[in-house]
Amino acid sequence: MPYDPSAFPPFAVTVDLVVLTVRRHALCALAVRRGEPPFQGRWALPGGFVRADEDLAQAAARELAEETGLRAHDPAVPAQDNGAHLEQLATYGDPKRDPRMRVVSVAHLALAPDLPAPRAGGDASNARWAPVEELLQQSGYGRDGEPVAPLAFDHAQILSDGVERARSKIEYSSLATAFCPPEFTVGELRRVYEAVWGVALDPRNFHRKVTGTPGFLVPTGGTTTRQGGRPAQLFRAGGATLLNPPMLRPEV
């Protein structure tokens, strides 16, 4: 296999983003409406071309900032300030995935706390947070009554892979804290797990588990009552990235 610089076909390389957050007890993803063909008017994942002098992670962080205003975090450091967690997800390169040309897309997964309304180049009507089940269903009507069409390109597959990655990764890592504000309560963290997994968890066992896992949570000393009921302790994410023992998703 000689390495002939003229012997390789040219590809376009893009990054696509699966940006997840938890809003109103539901796992939501960021979707943007396409302004031109193909798939004009359909919802899609945000993304764009990788520039000539840009690393893949840089391109993903730039797109994330353009779409949400979020700063991306170094993956080595767990979420501590307002930065979002960003990691590479997978790469999609079916020759027919874009009808215009050969495009290889390096999908990335971003996790963010509940945020102000999204912006897409300043045009809010072209970007929204939508529950992932709504984006993944093939047809029907969303809860706002608007008819649902499948996501553009292979973005349903990418979103599905991103959701599955998030679901499994919060089991054995402290990633669920990336969905929370810098300070949060055990109850808020529990509602994150419940929304991402789509199950109900026992508050007492959950509390014992997360407070007993070394390095997961650090008490800040403060308390809050923003959920109603008895005031709850506030925590920050601890230094641990890998949880031992892991959080176990209930049997299916």
Residues in contact with a second copy by CB under 8 A are: 1-3, 5, 7-13, 36, 48-56, 88, 90-95, 100-102, 104, 106, 121
Binding partner at 185 among DNA, a second copy, none, C-beta below 5 to 8 Å by kind = DNA
Residue 113 beta carbon to DNA: minimum distance, rounded to whole angstroms = 16
Residue 83 beta carbon to DNA: minimum distance, rounded to whole angstroms = 25
Range in contact with DNA (rule: CB under 7 A) among 10-18, 26-34, 131-139, 198-206: 198-206
Nearer to DNA, 77 or 199 (CB): 199
- With 0-12 / 13-18 / 19 or more C-beta atoms within 10 angstroms meaning exposed / middle / buried, residue 105 is buried
Instruction: Return the ∠ at Cα 113 (arms to 109 and 115), rounded to 5°.
Output: 105
On whether the CB atoms of residues 192 and 179 are closer than 8 A, the answer is yes
Residue 91 binding DNA, by CB under 7 A: no
Q: Name which of residues 138 to 197 contact DNA (CB under 7 A).
A: 185-188, 190
Question: For residue 207, is it left (φ>0), alpha (ψ between -120 and 50) or beta?
Answer: alpha
- Taking the C-alpha atoms of residue 87 and residue 65, their distance in angstroms, rounded to an integer, is 14
Beta strands 103-111 and 43-44 are unpaired
Residue 207 beta carbon to DNA: minimum distance, rounded to whole angstroms = 5
